[in-house]
Amino acid sequence: MALLRFLPLAYLSWFLGKLANLPLPQPLARWSILIFSRIYDIDIEVAAKPLGAYHSIGDFFTRDVRPEARPIADGIVSPVDGMLRSVENIVSKESVTQVKGRTYSLGRLLAEDGRADIFSNGQLWNFYLSPRDAHHIHSPVDGTIVRTVHIPGKLWPVNDWALHSIDGLFAVNERIVTYIQTERGLVAVVMVGATNVGRISLAYMALETNVAPWGKKTIRAFDHALGVPVARGQKIGTFNMGSSVLVVAQDKLRGLPLPATPVTVRYGQSCSAI
């Protein structure tokens, strides 16, 4: 894994993304997807389309899940299928937990230190998506999208090796921050890119990452003056492969004791039931 330090990960992820999305003839596409599903123990029964309707591995990776398989609960809900790695009450914006012994600042994560002040007494939920999970990101709350920030960066893996090896992992990888204004304050949904996640796209605006890895790398911020209404469980973005989503809330997302982690979650599942 240490060899990753010497690889051009942005270019590699871009290339592998292109490769994964090459259309394959049937039945080769179906056979490839079936083998892939068995390797990663993917529940194909909840996919919105039959296997024969997907034209590539990449197409299958960004599959929809049948709505009836993911009922949307009341209150605050999980934004993804995956694993809830950790939950913490934020004591200081200067030090949130990456893994035991490693921390990073909210200012670096959001690339806006002043905006990080909003969350200095809030809560942070850390979700991980593996190759077996559906790769859409959904809103955890009802509210209005008021700001979007694309922050270019590295494309380190977000696996256990990287958590223990890369300083400020979530604050150095490429990411998109979606700010949602709710009745309980501001919520930031941070979609963190990773190796092989060569593209993150948004559902509520025309924005994609790593379209040309050789292009200029600058932070881009978009204020939505009229706001974009969003409902909990509504799709707001998509990963090309597995990665991580951080939910940073101004208010505590639930008034119950913090859940024991790690724990498997499904999008639309009530955070109060985790």
Q: Is the confidence at residue 163, as pLDDT, over 70?
A: yes
**Annotated catalytic residue, options 13, 56, 78, 243:** 243
Residue of 246, 180, 177, 175 lying closest to 209 (CA atoms):
175
pLDDT value at residue 100? 78
pLDDT digits (tens, 9 = 90+) for 236-261: 999 976 689 999 999 888 777 788 88
Active site residue 59: no
Active site residue 165: no
Report the side by side order of strands in the sheet with 123-128: 220-230, 143-151, 175-182, 185-192, 244-249, 123-128, 82-89, 263-265
Cα gap 19→231, rounded to integer Å = 34
Beta carbons of 162 and 193 less than 8 angstroms apart: no
Mean of the per-residue pLDDT values for the chain? 87
Active site residue 130: no
φ, ψ at 226 (rounded to 5°) = -90, -10
pLDDT value at residue 6? 47
Cα gap 210→241, rounded to integer Å = 13
For the chain, the structural domain boundaries read: 8-61, 73-266
pLDDT value at residue 57? 80
Residue of 265, 129, 107, 123 lying closest to 200 (CA atoms):
129
Lowest-confidence region among 99-113, 133-147, 207-221: 207-221
Beta carbons of 49 and 63 less than 8 angstroms apart: yes
Beta strand pairing call for 200-202 and 235-239: antiparallel
pLDDT value at residue 26? 78
**Annotated catalytic residue, options 56, 59, 86, 138:** 138
pLDDT digits (tens, 9 = 90+) for 2-61: 555 545 555 555 556 665 677 777 778 888 888 888 998 999 999 999 988 988 888 888
The helix/strand/coil state of 32 is helix
**How far is C-alpha 151 from the chain's CA centre?**
14
pLDDT digits (tens, 9 = 90+) for 71-107: 999 989 999 999 999 999 999 889 998 987 899 999 9
Summarize the confidence of residues 161-172 as an average pLDDT: 90
**Annotated catalytic residue, options 81, 133, 150, 244:** 81
pLDDT value at residue 253? 81
Lowest-confidence region among 7-16, 194-203, 231-240: 7-16
